[in-house]
Amino acid sequence: MRQPTCAGEPGKTPGLLNAYFDLIESGSVRGITSTLALTEVLTKPYKTGDYTLANEYKLLFRYFPNFCMLDVDVVVSERAAWLRARYGLKTPDAIFAATALVGEADVFISNDSDLYKVEELKVINLENLA
């Protein structure tokens, strides 16, 4: 039996997101994200010079149990272009959505309501759960 998979992008609701990471860590679900997420989470620590935090993020993304990052490869890039053309998504949103589709995620976790347009994804908006 296949483990349920959730995909997502860095969000603004850490308490609820932590609950999903607890599920991922326990093995109840499998988590996937794009390597683009690493770019997004490392930007602030690099900007402020907090290299300790940056290293913690890198370790977390690389070694967190039941969690993986998918590269932005040709398949993800082509799917992202299709999503941009069909739904008018911004490039980062299209890459995250394409990653979820290529990774066969069951749900997509995001605070971005624009992603509700993507009919191929089941989007869970954390702000609506708060």
Predicted TM-score of the model (pTM): 0.84
CATH number at residue 114: 3.40.50.1010
Domain count for the chain? 1
Domain carrying residue 78 = 5-126
Q: pLDDT value at position 104?
A: 94
**Rounded distance, CA 121 to CA 73, Å?**
20
| Mean pLDDT, the chain, integer | 86
List, in sequence order, the alpha helices (H) in 1-130: 14-26, 36-48, 51-63, 74-87, 91-102, 126-129
| Residues lower than pLDDT 50 in the chain | 1-4, 12-13
